[in-house]
């Protein structure tokens, strides 16, 4: 059902045979998380001026985006609230194999393996929602959304209404990041009045997507 794959930066990812897709770019799995979500999400810049950060991740997968966020927040005195949605957690043996081969270790990884609902430290709260992201999942606005599902060709409907709904959950300074952009997504965003840009994508990808929260 899964295949372990080494990527260009030395970190490992999985190929999921059911979805027919990889969890990350083969050009560098952890580097992709750092580029698309941390760098292009201006997380460092946010930490320099804010005392709190609320992130939603749609598609926790192997936890790379969470690890990259925790790494970026090291030494910051503010409070992080990270909420991740994942309806099909990867079996623990596969998770452990990926993390071990990639030389990752962090107490939060145990929380993922044990599928706990909550992991906390004095200034970090991580809520795991072991169910699908859908319209109505939350009733508040957030600073960042990491929309990291498998590609639209494998799960088209998740890039329609649930995607638009995610954009609606951004606060006015908020940003949604995702690794890809299609003509359909572009038209959807335009027809619903969202401002967005398409920076250079990670690795061989030409473009990625950053959507901005609607102004009041």
Ligand X SMILES: C[S@@+](CC[C@H](N)C(=O)[O-])C[C@H]1O[C@@H](n2cnc3c(N)ncnc32)[C@H](O)[C@@H]1O
By CB under 6 A, name the one of 36, 38, 55, 62 that touches ligand X.
Answer: 62
Concatenating the DSSP letter of every residue in 4-52 gives: EEE-TTS-EEEEETTTTEESS-TT-HHHHHIIIIIITTTHHHHHHH-SE
Interface pattern 170-209 for ligand X (x via CB under 6 A): ----------------------------------------
Contact status: 39 vs ligand X (CB under 6 A): no
By CB under 6 A, name the one of 36, 38, 58, 142 that touches ligand X.
Answer: 58
By CB under 6 A, name the one of 25, 34, 53, 61 that touches ligand X.
Answer: 61
Is residue 83 classed as helix, strand or coil in its secondary structure?
strand
By CB under 6 A, name the one of 41, 59, 201, 213 that touches ligand X.
Answer: 59
Q: Identify the residue whose tokens are 């908020």.
A: 174
Instruction: Kindly report the backbone phi and psi dihedral angles of residue 176, in degrees, each rounded to the nearest multiple of 5, phi listed first.
Output: -105, 135
Contact by Cβ (8 Å): 70, 53: no
Q: Which of 65, 34, 27 is nearest to 148 (CA)?
A: 65
By CB under 6 A, name the one of 7, 33, 34, 40 that touches ligand X.
Answer: 33
Within 8-27, which residues bind ligand X (CB under 6 A)? 23
Interface pattern 77-96 for ligand X (x via CB under 6 A): --------xxxx--------
Minimum CB–partner distance for residue 215 and ligand X (Å): 28
- Cβ-based nearer residue to ligand X, 100 or 215: 100
Is residue 70 classed as helix, strand or coil in its secondary structure?
helix
State the DSSP code for 133. Answer: -
Tell me the C-alpha distance between 139 and 145, whole Å.
Answer: 14
Minimum CB–partner distance for residue 84 and ligand X (Å): 8
Contact by Cβ (8 Å): 172, 192: no
- Cβ-based nearer residue to ligand X, 51 or 184: 184
Minimum CB–partner distance for residue 77 and ligand X (Å): 26
Number of residues that bind ligand X (CB under 6 A): 20
Within 128-147, which residues bind ligand X (CB under 6 A)? 132-133
Contact by Cβ (8 Å): 214, 193: yes
Which two tokens mark 110?
Answer: 């145990």
Please report, as ranges, the residues that interact with ligand X according to CB under 6 A: 23, 33, 58-65, 85-88, 132-133, 148-150, 158
């Amino acid at each position: 059902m899964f295949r372990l794959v080494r990527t260009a930066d030395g970190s490992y990812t999985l190929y999921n045979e059911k979805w027919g897709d990889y969890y990350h770019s083969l050009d560098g799995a952890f580097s992709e998380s750092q580029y698309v979500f941390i760098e292009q999400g201006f997380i460092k810049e946010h930490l320099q001026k804010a005392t709190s950060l609320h992130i939603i991740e749609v598609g926790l997968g192997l936890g790379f985006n969470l690890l990259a966020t925790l790494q970026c927040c090291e030494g910051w005195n503010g409070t992080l609230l990270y909420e991740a949605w994942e309806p099909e957690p990867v079996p623990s043996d596969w998770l452990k194999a990926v993390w071990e081969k990639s030389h990752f270790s962090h107490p939060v990884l145990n929380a993922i393996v044990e599928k706990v609902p909550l992991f906390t430290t004095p200034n970090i709260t991580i809520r795991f929602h072991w169910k699908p992201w859908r319209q109505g999942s939350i009733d508040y606005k957030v600073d960042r959304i990491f929309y990291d599902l498998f590609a639209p060709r494998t799960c088209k409907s998740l890039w329609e209404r649930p995607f638009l709904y995610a954009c609606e959950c951004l606060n006015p300074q908020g940003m949604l990041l995702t690794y890809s952009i299609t003509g359909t997504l572009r038209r959807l965003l335009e027809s619903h009045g969202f401002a967005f840009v398409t920076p250079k994508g990670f690795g061989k990808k030409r473009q990625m997507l950053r959507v901005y929260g609607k102004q009041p």
